[in-house]
Structure 1
Amino acid sequence: MHIDLTGRTALVTGSTQGIGAAAAVALARAGARVGINGRDERRVADRVESLAGEAPGADLVPVAADVSTDEGARRVTELLPEVDILVNNLGIFGAVDALEITDDEWRRYFEVNVLAAVRLTRLYLPGMTERGWGRVQYVASDSAVVIPAEMIHYGMSKTALLAVGRGFAKKAAGTGVTVNCVIAGPTHTAGVEDFVYELVDRELPWDEAQRTFMREHRPQSLLQRLIEPEEIAHMIVYLSSEQASATTGGALRVDGGYVDSILP
């Protein structure tokens, strides 16, 4: 399948690392102009430079702004007034005992993981519908369906994204704009290797270590290895394409079979 996004402008929030960076590179390789977003201006500039090496000739736009705030979101629209593809990837997570999650933490997780995406959708969706074409995506998680006992506030926020995605898909019905969620499974991102080696023998080679980790600590995974960010990026690129024109209102799983269900 040949996907050509030439002439399209994409914004990937939280794209200085992990799934966001992989998605940004993949969209750029498909021909899209891509906004690289993060809070720190220097880090964003450095990431733009490194990503340019991974996608020679790519048109990458530094978009330094904290999109979890109204001011930051407005700043993004000043730098990228029109966006055809909005990938709401920004998210935070952390393990906290359920009874020790404070009101402020509940609010922070909702602000960053949910409201930031809602705000940007509200800002960019009208332009997409007016032009008769657009793609909005929310990067959710297996934790939206299999709520982790050690971080239920994170699971709550990702479950909320599934509702947000379905709701905005209805708002965009019949306009040529599609809205979908991507359910990402256990992914090999920054810091995960250290986490894995806290639980398995440090002498094991990485490939064997991650398989041991998955077998012993994430046995419900059918893939039995961590997912690489690029593998999730493939789904994001597909959903951004003309070929995905009939896919909307969905929650598409790239979870390695982690969720033990036929439907999310």
Structure 2
Amino acid sequence: MEIELTGRTALVSGSTQGIGRAIAAGLARAGARTVINGRSGPGVTAAVEELRAEVPGADLAGVAADLATAAGAHTVAERFPAVDILVNNLGVFGARPVLEIDDAEWRRYFEINVLSGVRLARRYMPGMMERGWGRVQFIASDSAVVTPEEMVHYGMSKTALLAVSRGYAKAAAGTGVTVNTVMAGPTHTEGVEDFVAEMVDGDPPWDEAQRRFMAEHRPQSLLRRLIEPDEIANMVVYLASDRASATTGGALRVDGGYIDAILP
């Protein structure tokens, strides 16, 4: 399947590493002008330079802004007033017993994982709807429907994205703008390597740590391994294309069969 995004501008929040970086690379390979975002100016510059080397001829730009804040969203919108493809990838996660999560931590997860995407969608969707074409995606997680005991605050934020995405899809009905959620399963990123190390005793080598983590903490997975970021990016790039013009209001799973249900 050929996917051609030349002439489109894509913004990927939280895209200096991990899943966001893989998504940015995939969109750039498909020809989109791709905007890399992170909080640190040097971090954004380094990611752009790395991707230029990785994807020869890529049309890349960068913007440093903390999208967990309204001021950060304003900074991005001023720099890039119109985009065609918005991928709300920014998110944080971490293990904590639910009865120890205080109000500030609940709010932090909601601000970063939910409101960052809400603000950007609210700013960019009207222009997409006026132009008659646009793609908005929220990167959620299997945790949206399989709430992890050790990360209830994270699961809450990802469940919220399912409702947000469906609501925005209804607002865009009939306009040529599609809105979807991608539900990523346990994925191999830098942050997840640290998380696995916390969850697995004994500091074993990575291959053994991954095997034990999946067997002990994610036994529902049918893939029986962590998903690679490029595997998430493949779905996002497809949804960003004209090929996915009839897919909207959906929650699409790239979860390695982790969610033990026929429907989300």
* TM surpasses 0.5: yes
Write out the 4+ residue segments of structure 1 that deviate beyond 2 Å after TM superposition.
191-198, 200-204, 206-213
1:89 is matched with: 89
Give distance in 1, aligned partners of 2:203 and 2:74: 46
1:252 is matched with: 252
Cα 1:191–1:71 change in 2 (3 A) is closer
Question: What's the RMSD between the two structures over aligned residues?
Answer: 1.4
1:154 counterpart = 2:154:
yes
2:181 is matched with: 181
2:5 is matched with: 5
Q: Percent identity of the aligned residues?
A: 72
- What SS is found at the alignment partner of 1:87? strand
2:113 is matched with: 113
2:222 is matched with: 222
Could you tell me whether the CA contact under 8 Å between 2:4 and 2:31 is conserved in 1?
A: yes
Cα 1:227–1:6 change in 2 (3 A) is same
> Residue type matched to 2:242 in 1?
E
Could you tell me whether the CA contact under 8 Å between 2:28 and 2:34 is conserved in 1?
A: yes
Cα displacement (A) at 1:209: 4.5
- What SS is found at the alignment partner of 2:190? coil
1:145 is matched with: 145
Could you tell me whether the CA contact under 8 Å between 2:94 and 2:195 is conserved in 1?
A: no
Give distance in 1, aligned partners of 2:208 and 2:9: 40
1:33 is matched with: 33
Cα displacement (A) at 1:216: 3.0
Provide, for residues 13-62 of structure 1, a one-character-per-residue CA deviation record: whole Å limited to 9, x for no partner.
00001000000000000000000000111110011101111111111111
Give distance in 1, aligned partners of 2:34 and 2:14: 12
2:233 is matched with: 233
Give distance in 1, aligned partners of 2:69 and 2:134: 24
2:210 is matched with: 210
Give distance in 2, aligned partners of 1:87 and 1:232: 12
1:61 counterpart = 2:67:
no
Give distance in 2, aligned partners of 1:210 and 1:66: 31
Give distance in 2, aligned partners of 1:108 and 1:8: 32
Could you tell me whether the CA contact under 8 Å between 1:26 and 1:237 is conserved in 2?
A: yes
Q: Which of 89-98 and 120-129 deviates more?
A: 89-98
> Residue type matched to 1:117 in 2?
G
Task: Report how many residues are paired.
Answer: 263
> Residue type matched to 2:166 in 1?
R
- What SS is found at the alignment partner of 1:235? helix
Provide, for residues 181-211 of structure 1, a one-character-per-residue CA deviation record: whole Å limited to 9, x for no partner.
000000000043344456267565x445423
Give distance in 2, aligned partners of 1:192 and 1:89: 15
1:71 is matched with: 71
Provide, for residues 60-118 of structure 1, a one-character-per-residue CA deviation record: whole Å limited to 9, x for no partner.
11111111111111110111111000000000111111111111111111111111111
TM-score, reference length from structure 2: 0.96
Could you tell me whether the CA contact under 8 Å between 1:200 and 1:213 is conserved in 2?
A: no
